[in-house]
A and B are shown apart, each in its own frame.
Chain A
């Protein structure tokens, strides 16, 4: 865990869960797994506060616990999961694009609460949707539950590990902590529930309209006050699946930018067909025959079978090797190469390398630097003179750029001595790019920048706290006056309480905070790409 990661984790915890949880999380992150009493001693908080914080963290899957052989329970923080909090808006937005409003709200509720049971989640989402609908209309549970089932079928949400059902003998004392486990195949099975009901509004005036359904609702409510039918089955968001989806999106857009729209559609179809069958860490999708692909193409694309075959051949022959041909049965079977190809002699770069490292460079160093960098990536090792020749950049500038990149550790020098005594005049000095090191360094920088952005945003809010509180009060007054029906003159008078310069200050503050937030989102995208790249390369057997 680097310092930058630690700092970012603690900032995220503090912003979303408060200071007590932040202290507990910090202690766990810095010193590793420990039992409860050490934690209490370390943080200096009251034991009850620490217990509360641990409950919150476990609820949100940020901390896991393990029973040690000596009988104590040790808690361990999961730093990579804490960093995912940055990505919550992206998950929710993706769910919205795929499954509409019910899907979006379901994912949001699951993320906000860590894990929920199906009945609880469906009820909450239906209530929220009902709030936004017009008067008189309510959201039926069935629509929400069908979206839930679809989310589970495509593996976007999964079941949490369950409490073991084995009955304990009366003599043996119950273990201090349950050992939760779940089989892979059970993870996506939705329990058979008949959830009947409609969303409820908070206003009491609507109760009369639903009078006829009152009997049903009472039965429903009576059911929930006792144990609900799916007691003990909790659901959580499957972040890996979302990551897979983002990766597929990146692949498709890379293909589209390299070739054309139709080929990207072909790749998208192939990926969609193998969504559920591909394990999350696999490097290739399952082989798909071109007949299957032809059948699954979206209706709008009326391309003939031969055209499809031609596209597939083109994709397979492409030096970037997005698609590989793996057999001839069924008109040719093809796979999509999702990560960097292991063990191939040319080691073609995966779609991640180019999109990530290269666009960062022109912004910091200039487009010529980017040219040199790309050149080095391609040719692996080059001498000073060769760099100048290939990149077609005058010597002085090339030197300058190379040294700058060298000082930033993006390129490195490799010495190849001609003589055993390593005399400098008789040694080759080659410039090269160590991709993994450069990627890790950039990732570290990204974490640092997000942490800086967050701190700056908090600073801005703290500076203008007084003004923000005043504006909130004025808004509250305005709202209450409008509700009781005041005249325009009175409203105007209340609005005048905030003077012109103050209004401007508020505007500037809002603009700045929005900018900072948008930058955080953007840096998070880069973090995702870099992390996936590092992860996929490291996993190589």
Chain B
């Protein structure tokens, strides 16, 4: 009895098909062989959007809010991507203190203690005042001064030792320059102090180098 209906005529259902309304001989829709289309055809157009003053004001508000939220410190930007090669200009880019500080001041009493990010220890501690120091007034002048000093440093590799000494003295006065010089020293492959300019050897090089040494 159970298997009687099987195989005889397609589309046999467990309930009486006529009761639901599909009469005998009515053409049923063909079986679907593929998933429904991604954008099915719209049978009727959608209703118009509510316009009017209220709608437009809310629209403007929404876009304003989006824009404003991007600028707030709550928008956490991912850290600057590590470049494959360290470029010279990286030194001059004012990078924000990524990953290691919060730009706004939450009330720490209201937050769990484990969320407080400690200021790093000494080594990095020098970079932290370094970066804000650059922000402090007279930005341009500092950079120009730095550029000049670095220019001099570039020349010094091939120039006199005295200037180098002078540089180092100047550098010692200001923390930054000292730090930069150390950095600069570290970056090159050659140890700068190795290059003996030959000052102590032979006569002064104030003369034209072309003249033969007697």
Interface residues of A (CB under 8 A from B): 15-21, 36, 46, 48-49, 51-56, 58-60, 65, 67, 73, 88-90, 92-93, 96, 108, 112-114, 163, 174, 176-178, 180, 232, 234, 363-364, 366, 384, 395, 399, 423-425, 427, 429, 514-515, 517-522
Considering residues B47, B61, B79, B113, which has the most beta carbons from chain A within 10 angstroms of its beta carbon? B61
A429's contact among B20, B68, B72, by CB below 8 Å, is which? B20
Indicate whether A176 sits within 8 Å of B75 (C-beta atoms), given known contacts A363-B44, A395-B21: no
Interchain pairs with CB closer than 8 A, number: 135
Bitwise, B40-53 to A at CB < 8 A (1) or not (0) is: 00011011011100
Nearest neighbor of A36 in chain B, beta-carbon distance? B114
Q: Check B58–A89 contact: CB distance below 8 A.
A: yes
- Would you list which residues of chain B between 58 and 88 have a CB under 8 Å from chain A? 58-59, 61-63, 65-66, 68-69, 72, 74-79
Chain B residues with CB under 8 Å of A90's CB are: 58
Among A112, A232, A518, which residue has its beta carbon within 8 angstroms of that of B72? A112
Name 20 extra pairs, CB < 8 A, besides A52-B76, A73-B114, A522-B49. A16-B69, A55-B106, A56-B76, A59-B74, A113-B74, A163-B109, A177-B113, A178-B109, A232-B109, A234-B110, A366-B44, A384-B19, A384-B21, A395-B21, A424-B16, A425-B16, A515-B49, A518-B49, A518-B59, A520-B62
Whether, in the assembled complex, B151 has its beta carbon less than 8 Å from a beta carbon of chain A, the answer is no
Q: How far is the CA of A351 from the CA of B58 in the complex (A)?
A: 25
Q: Is the CB of B74 within 8 A of A56?
A: yes
In the bound complex, CA of A89 to CA of B67 (Å): 13
Which residues from chain B contact A46 at a C-beta distance below 8 Å? 99
Which one of B20, B21, B99 has the highest number of Cβ atoms from chain A below 10 Å of its Cβ? B21
> 23 interchain pairs (CB within 8 A)?
A17-B75, A18-B76, A20-B76, A36-B115, A49-B79, A52-B117, A60-B74, A65-B112, A67-B112, A88-B61, A96-B57, A180-B110, A232-B109, A234-B110, A364-B44, A384-B21, A395-B21, A423-B16, A427-B16, A429-B20, A518-B55, A518-B59, A521-B59
Contact A517-B63, Cβ < 8 Å, known A17-B75, A53-B76, A163-B109 = yes
Chain B residues in 8 Å Cβ range of A424: 14-16, 19
Whether A178 contacts B75 by the Cβ 8 Å rule is: no
Determine the main DSSP class of A at the interface with B.
Answer: helix
A114 to B76, CA, bound (A): 15
**Are B76 and A89 in contact (CB-based, < 8 A)?**
no
Does B111 sit at the interface, judged by CB under 8 A?
yes
Contact of A384 with B62 in the complex, beta carbons under 8 Å: no
Given contacts A60-B74, A518-B59, A520-B62, contact A112 B49 (CB under 8 A): no
Q: Are A55 and B14 in contact (CB under 8 A)?
A: no
The yes or no answer to B102 lying at the interface (CB within 8 A) is yes
Interface check B197, CB cutoff 8 A: no
Q: Which of A48, A113, A363, A519 contacts B49 (CB 8 A)?
A: A519
* Least distance between B62 CB and chain A CB atoms (Å): 5
CA distance A303 to B20 in the complex (A): 56
Determine the distance from Cα of A92 to Cα of B54 in the docked complex, in whole angstroms: 12
Could you say which residues of chain A place their CB within 8 Å of the CB of B109?
Answer: 163, 178, 232
Is the CB–CB distance between A48 and B117 below 8 Å?
Answer: yes
Interface centre among B16, B57, B62 (most CB of A within 10 A): B62
Judging by beta carbons under 8 Å apart, are A176 and B113 in contact? yes
Which residues does chain A contribute within 8 Å of B102, judged by CB atoms?
Answer: 52, 55
Report Cα–Cα, A381/B65, bound state, in Å: 48
Contacts of B15 in A (CB 8 A): 424, 427, 429
Q: Once the chains bind, are A93 and B46 in contact (CB under 8 Å)?
A: no
Q: Are A51 and B115 in contact (CB under 8 A)?
A: yes
Of all chain B residues, the one with the shortest Cβ separation from A180 is B110
A20 to B106, CA, bound (A): 19
Q: Is B90 an interface residue (CB 8 A)?
A: no
Q: Give the contacts of B1-36 with A (CB-CB under 8 A).
A: 14-16, 19-21
A89 engages B111 (CB within 8 Å): no
User: Contacts A52-B117, A163-B110, A384-B20; is A92 near B75 (CB within 8 Å)?
Assistant: no
